[in-house]
Amino acid sequence: MGDKPVWEQIGSSFIQHYYQLFDNDRTQLDTIYIDASCLTWEGQQFQGKAAIAEKLSSLPFQKIQHSITAQDHQPKPDSCIISMVVGQLKADEDPIMRFHQMFLLKNISDAWVCTNDMFRLALHNFG
């Protein structure tokens, strides 16, 4: 049971930490980004820890809950880790929506930070 590849362990720990922070106090998310980080949020680009933290803190909902349907992790040759998440979320009293998110993680000074983050709601409807 402890046989998961290390990149899966790191990726899944990060994922758990990220959504826990997001759902409980997303103002604390700045700790996982650095000045070189990029976020693409529903097609809009944000560059750097401050801009990213501001965007996430200012999202227009009070309550948010993420539920992960599936997560995948892969290593990159330069010791980065890529994680992809497919899930559902509920903001305030809005209907549950599906989302897709990708993180590129890098180890800097012994801490795993997110250098690239892309988020999309799955807003296509059937047909």
List the interface residues with its own copies, window 47-86 (CB under 8 A). Answer: 69-70, 72, 74-78, 80, 82, 84, 86
Provide, rounded to whole angstroms, the least separation between the CB of residue 25 and its own copies: 26
Q: What angle do CA 103, 107, 108 make, to 5 degrees?
A: 120
d(CA 88, CA 39) in angstroms, rounded, equals: 19
What lies within 8 Å, CB to CB, of 126 at 6+ separation is none
Task: Look at residue 73 and give its three-state secondary structure.
Answer: strand
Among 2, 62, 109, 124, which residue interacts with its own copies (rule: CB under 8 A)? 124
> Could you say which DSSP state residue 96 is in?
P
- Using CB under 8 A as the criterion, what x/- string covers residues 90-119 for binding its own copies? -----xx-x-x-x-x----------xx-x-
d(CA 57, CA 30) in angstroms, rounded, equals: 10
| Total residues in contact with its own copies, by rule CB under 8 A | 32
Q: Which residues bind its own copies (CB under 8 A)?
A: 38, 40, 43, 69-70, 72, 74-78, 80, 82, 84, 86-88, 95-96, 98, 100, 102, 104, 115-116, 118, 120, 122-124, 126-127
